[in-house]
Amino acid sequence: MISAGDPVNFTIDDQRVVVNMPNLASLLNAVQVRLATGCGFSLATINLDHLVKLRKSPTFLRAYLAQDFVVADGNPIVWLSRLSGQPVDLVPGSDLVLPLCQIAAKMDLPVVFLGSTREALDGAEDALLQRFPNLKIAQKISPPMGFDPQGPDAENLIAGLKSLGPGMCFFALGAPKQEILAARARIIAPQMGFASIGAGLDFLSGHQVRAPIWVRTLALEWLWRALSAPRRLIPRYAACAAILPSEVWAALRQRRT
């Protein structure tokens, strides 16, 4: 569970969502410790879109509060952390697949992909096995459209994951489905690590094209994505921009206190 006294936090309905992993190194170390002791974990990657959704969905908020690890997936979260006087590093969810799979391969633990499309999962498997030939990919699950992370099909999937014992599962369902499923799976399959990584597997497989490095360096990946799917993403980014003033003010208050 998320603890008090960690770095930057966001208050939603009197609840604090804390970015408790300040950088990639601390996250990977914590993951290895958990897996070595058979404890498992759940990992969320917070960004402005998540903050918008957290304000609207009590279910999503409860799921976030149940995560063991939270990292900053988005430059605005990093900038807000600096304003608050409690800086954290940028740790995009899409960048976590490779280092987490490296840990799984080194520890000889099975890996499961859940989400996206079968073609994308197959492509991600090929890309990962080229890098980590010893990686054990135990299952690739592409749920049908309308998959409900709180429904009976999800319960059956989680039961199958529990039977694997210690291992790691990547959820590529998008928010809030992946975080809600991770919070539920964390209880039923406590020996497994659950990482919500969004489009990370699609990027690996080439089914989605990520912004070039120079675009990401300029913190313009949001613009790249918005131009790729304007009807879907421009309203989303407008909603993100709308909450920025209040989040800036909250960060400055954290700095003062």
Determine the pLDDT at residue 257: 75
Neighbours of 80 (CB within 10 A): 26
> What average pLDDT does range 79-84 have in this prediction?
95
Question: Per the structure, how many domains does the chain have?
Answer: 1
Query: What is the tens place of the pLDDT at every residue in 51-60?
Result: 999 999 999 9
Residue 6 has pLDDT above 70, yes or no: no
What local confidence, expressed as pLDDT, does residue 222 receive? Answer: 84
C-beta separation of 200 from 169 below 8 A: no
Average pLDDT, the chain: 93
Residue 129 inside a domain? The answer is: yes
What six digits make up the tokens of 90? 């940028």
Token representation of residue 115: 């989400």
Average pLDDT over every residue of 216-221 = 88
Residue 33's contacts (CB-CB under 8 Å, 6 or more residues apart) are: none
Q: Is residue 1 included in any domain, yes or no?
A: no
- pTM: predicted TM-score of the whole model, two decimal places: 0.93
Check residue 223 and give its pLDDT. 86
pLDDT of the residue at 3: 40
pLDDT, tens only, 142-160:
999 899 999 999 999 999 9
Residue 27 lies in a domain: yes
Q: Coil, helix or strand for 111?
A: strand
Q: Is 246 part of any domain?
A: yes
Instruction: Give the pLDDT band (50/70/90) at residue 225.
Output: confident
Does 4 fall in a domain?
no
Confirm whether 3 is domain-assigned: no
Q: How confident is the model at residue 4 (pLDDT cuts 50, 70, 90)?
A: very low
Per-residue tokens: 178: 């992946």
Instruction: Report the share of the chain in percent with pLDDT over 90.
Output: 80
Question: Which of 134-138, 175-179, 212-216 shows the lowest per-residue confidence on average (mean pLDDT)?
Answer: 212-216
Cβ neighbour number for residue 187 with a 10 Å cutoff: 10
d(CA 19, CA 15): 13
Rounded Cα gap, residues 237 and 98, in angstroms: 28
In the chain, how long is the greatest CA-to-CA distance?
50
Domain containing 122 equals 9-256
pLDDT of residue 228: 85
The position carrying tokens 């009976």 is 152
Out of 148-157, 189-198, 209-218, 234-243, pick the least confident.
209-218
Q: Please write the tens of the pLDDT for every residue from 18-67.
A: 999 999 999 999 999 999 998 999 999 999 999 999 999 999 999 999 99
For residue 218, being part of any structural domain is answered with yes
CA distances in angstroms from 87 to 60, 83, 221, 255, listed in the order given: 25, 8, 21, 11
Burial class (CB in 10 A: 0-12, 13-18, 19+), 36: exposed
pLDDT of residue 211: 86
Summarised one tens digit per residue, pLDDT across range 105-135 is: 999 999 999 999 999 999 999 999 999 999 9
Residue 212 belongs to some domain of the structure:
yes
Closest to 19 measured CA to CA, from 81, 63, 61: 81
